[in-house]
Amino acid sequence: MPAVADALVARLRDAYGDHILPSPPWVLNAAGGAIGAMLVLHCSLSEYIIIFGTPLGTRGFTGRFAADDYFTMLAGVQTAYRPGAWTAEVYRPGETHHLRRGDAKVYELSPGGWALEYARGNIVSMLPFGAADGVWSTLDWVGLWGMVRVSAVGIVRELLKGKV
C-alpha cells in the first residue's frame, strides 16, 4: 500500500501543484466510532482530499453532512448499509462509494482497507464530526491536534490563494 499511496500523491501533485499539501503528517482519526489513519492532502472550506485506512479494519457511522463524499477504494473492501436495507453495499478496489449530502450509513472497512476520500460541499459542517470522538471518547488530544492543525493549514493556504 505505501507504494500506491506514494504514486497517488505524486500524481495529484503533478495535476494540482501546490493545492496538495507539501509534507502532510499521517494522523490517527476517530470519527463516528471508526478509527484509522489519515493523510490530509488538500483541505479548503469547499473540499478535501485524504487517504484514509487501517491495516486492522474498522467500522462506524459515516456522519450526515452538507457535502458529498466520494470514498474510492484503493485496497481492501468497504461495506455499507442504510436503514431499511437488508443487504450491504460492497465496494472493492477501484470502486467508489458516493455518500450523498444529507445521507448517512453505517460502514465497515476490512483489514488492509485504504481509500482515497474526496468531499465537496460545506466542509465546515464535517469538522465537528471529525473532532467529536477525539474530544468526548478517545481523548486523543495528539491525534485531534494533528487533524485540526493540518486542516487549518490547508484551509488558510487555500484562502490565501483565493479559493474557498
Between CA 68 and CA 78 the distance in angstroms is: 17
User: Residue 5 has what pLDDT?
Assistant: 87
Residue 3 has pLDDT above 90, yes or no: no
User: Residue 4 has what pLDDT?
Assistant: 85
Confidence of residue 1 (pLDDT cuts 50, 70, 90): low
Over the stretch 48-97, which tens digit does the pLDDT of each residue have? 999 999 999 999 999 999 999 999 999 999 999 999 999 999 999 999 99
Q: For the chain, what percent of residues have pLDDT higher than 90?
A: 89
CATH number of the domain within which 20 lies: 2.60.120.10
Q: How far is CA 32 from CA 49, 62, 160, in A?
A: 19, 6, 31
Name the residue type at position 159: L
User: Residue 103 has what pLDDT?
Assistant: 96
Confidence of residue 2 (pLDDT cuts 50, 70, 90): confident
Q: Which domain holds residue 11?
A: 2-160
Contact 43, 157 (CB under 8 A): no
Between CA 31 and CA 53 the distance in angstroms is: 12
Contact 9, 74 (CB under 8 A): no
Q: How many domains does the chain have?
A: 1
Residue 127 has pLDDT above 80, yes or no: yes
Strand ranges inside 10-152, DSSP E: 26-31, 34-43, 47-54, 58-61, 67-75, 78-81, 89-91, 96-99, 106-109, 113-121
All 3 cell numbers of residue 116?
482515497
Contact 53, 114 (CB under 8 A): yes
